[in-house]
Amino acid sequence: MLGLMLATAKSLPDLVRSISGLFSKVDGAARRYRSGGDAPYDAEQDGGVVAGIDDLDAARREHEEAAARDAVYDQARDGDLDDGDEDAEGVGDGVGAEGTQDPEPRRRKARLRVVKPDAEPSSKPATKPTKGEQQQMPLGPAAQPSNWNLPPLDMLALTSNKRANEDAVAERGDSLVAALSSHGVDTKLVGFTRGPTVTRYELELGEGVKVARLTSLSKDIAYAMAAIDVRILAPIPGRSAIGIEVPNDTRDLVSLGDLLTAPESKSAQHPLDVAIGKDIAGRSVFLNISTTPHLLIAGATGAGKSSVLNCIITSILMRTTPEQVRMILIDPKQVEMGQYAGLPHLLTQPVTAPKKAANALGWAVKEMERRYDVLVEAGFRDISGFNAAYDRGELNAGDNTAAIATKKFDRLPFIVVVVDELNDLMMVAARDVEDCITRIAQKARAVGIHLIVATQRPSVNVITGVIKANIPARMAFAVSSLTDSRVILDQPGAEKLVGKGDLLMLPGNTSVAQRVQSAWVGESEVRNITAHWKRQSPEVAYVSGIEGGTTGAGGGELPGGTTGDEDDDELLKHAVDLIARTQLGSTSMLQRKLKIGFARAGRLMDLLEQRGIVGPSEGSKPREVLMTLEEWEKIQGG
């Protein structure tokens, strides 16, 4: 110590002062010791700063504090501490009464930890959405801001379901094991997952127990659990366990507002990411229609088909603008889609007449062909690349090919065609409807046209093999028989559903069905959302010619425009006048009255069908006339 003081002292007076200070320090420490104190040396209490001693003491303290921090960090890195435990209380959580480490509580906590789905990093903290804070989804990589305002999320109601009693759920699982044991099936309950509608109990089979033995006891299990029916997954995909899904005594309500405010909605950024419901683990389920790319929905009356259609449509209205998504709604039942009339998202008013619906599907086919021509001219493979180039200002810049330089391109929105009841269309014009659906399903994905088809009659006459082959994504609601389930899903399971929105979904990229409880959206919520859009667009300009086929290039006096041939135009006017006055769509009548051949009369009748004046052919029967005399006289007078 004396050597250190000699080395640090710059002069003899400094050395003297250091020695004097040292003695005063020692004297102060001795006094504190005699009085019972055991505090360590402190420079402030013991008077002054001693060169060479206080500096060393401060360095020693810093070194000890740094070592203590490093030890805590090393323990956290090695797994001895839970994530986020930085205080002393968290460090001591796993220490037993004898001072030994007890790792068991931490292992239990890690097993119950919920791993959230990956989401895009955000520079803004997550906040509760309030009125006016919902952001528009991007139109493209460099899209211009839109003038449309999305509806605020507070237009949708949220549910407040009571938390389930896990002890009661576990006791029910023990009862399930006991019931199986009474039938000679040895099982072990290894876990359970409670969803909004059903609870899945996970069982491991005993030594030598066959899976077929357990699956044959479906009715006995339902009886023991006092359930309507149970669904058995043998085994659970990707696991060595059997899943038995038992309906809950009390079902949880799932609202569209719950889904659109859930964390999963943050990662659903595509305009066609639509909210469906919640799965058996309570996670929100979204479906990207653009990758599906078409959807077939089937189930018995009252099972929830129209509810999920309303949920899909409302989800689109909540998240996209008319610049992004347009829709054609076909509603032969006439009561489900009327609430969406007048929306700027619609290409035409909701179609209710089955024969006009067939014409609307035909228009979608022609629009598909037109879009392919546009993509070929612009040199793109699909609508995503085309719209991205449009948003960057590359298409109309005139610096690409000669065709692009001389042609003005418009942005192509996605088009979703929704058919609420396919059975009515198949009864009226089966061949035309099936041909249009097949062509759209085969080719329309690349140009952004997508089909959503629903039916309550899942028979092979309605859901034909051609339609099933081209629409791989399906939703099955509760049906009455195993045969109906196989028609929809090509597998059993839908006959075990409990109704009221309980569904099995095949996304199209897998053969494993996912059980989902579909969301519910109230009529008052839909009215508020549609009113929000109608205030921004009081007058809607529908696309002409959808209900009556294609739109002509000339825009003449006849519905749909002129044909480009003056003789045919004149004959066509006479044909329309004749059919409107007689209300008889007969090719032979046109031959007689207009004194033309059968081929020309047939061509005129095809043109009349394209323009929505007559319906599709019904064999030897006259075609249905879709235009009244008053409508024809109004066109002539206008």
pLDDT > 70: percent of the chain: 71
The answer, yes or no, to whether residue 46 has pLDDT greater than 60, is: no
pLDDT digits (tens, 9 = 90+) for 559-584: 443 333 444 557 888 888 888 888 88
Question: Which pLDDT score is estimated for 590?
Answer: 86
Q: Region 142-162: what's the mean pLDDT?
A: 78
The token pair that represents 384 in the structure block: 């995503």
Q: Region 518-542: what's the mean pLDDT?
A: 90
Distance, CA of 534 to CA of 113 (rounded, Å):
46
The token pair that represents 219 in the structure block: 């009715």
Angle formed by the axes of helices 383-391 and 354-378, nearest 10° = 60
What CATH number labels 166-247? 3.30.980.40
Q: Region 321-339: what's the mean pLDDT?
A: 90
The DSSP line for 115-126 is -PPP----SS--
Residues of each domain in the chain carrying CATH 1.10.10.10: 566-637
More confident residue, 557 or 506: 506
Q: How confident is the model at residue 418 (pLDDT cuts 50, 70, 90)?
A: very high
Q: Region 220-241: what's the mean pLDDT?
A: 88
What CATH number labels 295-524? 3.40.50.300
The answer, yes or no, to whether residue 138 has pLDDT greater than 90, is: no
pLDDT digits (tens, 9 = 90+) for 439-495: 999 999 999 999 999 998 778 888 888 888 889 899 999 998 898 899 899 889 999
Distance, CA of 569 to CA of 558 (rounded, Å):
9
344 within 8 A of 535, measured Cβ to Cβ: no
The DSSP line for 234-279 is SS-TTSSSEEEEEE-SSPPP-BHHHHHTSTHHHH--STTEEEEEEE
Question: Which pLDDT score is estimated for 531?
Answer: 93
The answer, yes or no, to whether residue 80 has pLDDT greater than 60, is: no
Question: Which pLDDT score is estimated for 67?
Answer: 63
The answer, yes or no, to whether residue 275 has pLDDT greater than 90, is: yes
Residues of each domain in the chain carrying CATH 3.40.50.300: 295-524
More confident residue, 314 or 395: 314
Q: Which of 210, 278, 219 is nearest to 244 (CA)?
A: 219
Distance, CA of 368 to CA of 376 (rounded, Å):
12
- CA dist 555 to 549, 589, 626, Å? 14, 27, 20
**Choices 3.40.50.300, 1.10.10.10, 2.60.40.10, 3.30.450.20: CATH for 566-637:** 1.10.10.10
pLDDT > 90: percent of the chain: 28
Residues 354, 359, 364, 368, Cα dihedral to 10°? 150
Please give the mean pLDDT across all residues of the chain. 77
Q: How confident is the model at residue 111 (pLDDT cuts 50, 70, 90)?
A: very low
Q: Is 188 exposed, middle or buried (0-12, 13-18, 19+ CB in 10 A)?
A: exposed
Residues of each domain in the chain carrying CATH 3.30.980.40: 166-247
pLDDT digits (tens, 9 = 90+) for 281-312: 889 999 999 998 999 999 988 888 989 999 99
Name beta bridge partners: 540: none
The answer, yes or no, to whether residue 135 has pLDDT greater than 70, is: no
Distance, CA of 196 to CA of 164 (rounded, Å):
10
Question: Which pLDDT score is estimated for 21?
Answer: 64
Q: Region 224-241: what's the mean pLDDT?
A: 87
625 within 8 A of 613, measured Cβ to Cβ: yes
Question: Which pLDDT score is estimated for 19?
Answer: 66
Distance, CA of 471 to CA of 474 (rounded, Å):
7
More confident residue, 381 or 619: 381
Q: How confident is the model at residue 515 (pLDDT cuts 50, 70, 90)?
A: very high
- In terms of phi and psi (left: phi > 0; alpha: psi -120 to 50; beta: otherwise), the region of 99 is left
The answer, yes or no, to whether residue 59 has pLDDT greater than 60, is: no
Do strands 473-476 and 502-506 pair parallel, antiparallel, or not at all (unpaired)?
antiparallel
More confident residue, 620 or 219: 219
- Kindly report the CA angle at 478 between 473 and 479, in degrees rounded to 5? 95
DSSP assignment letter at 271: T
Q: What pTM, to 2 d.p., does this model score?
A: 0.66
Q: Which of 612, 610, 601, 611 is nearest to 571 (CA)?
A: 601
Question: Which pLDDT score is estimated for 532?
Answer: 93
518 within 8 A of 304, measured Cβ to Cβ: yes
Helix (H) or strand (E) holding 245: strand 242-247
Distance, CA of 214 to CA of 221 (rounded, Å):
9
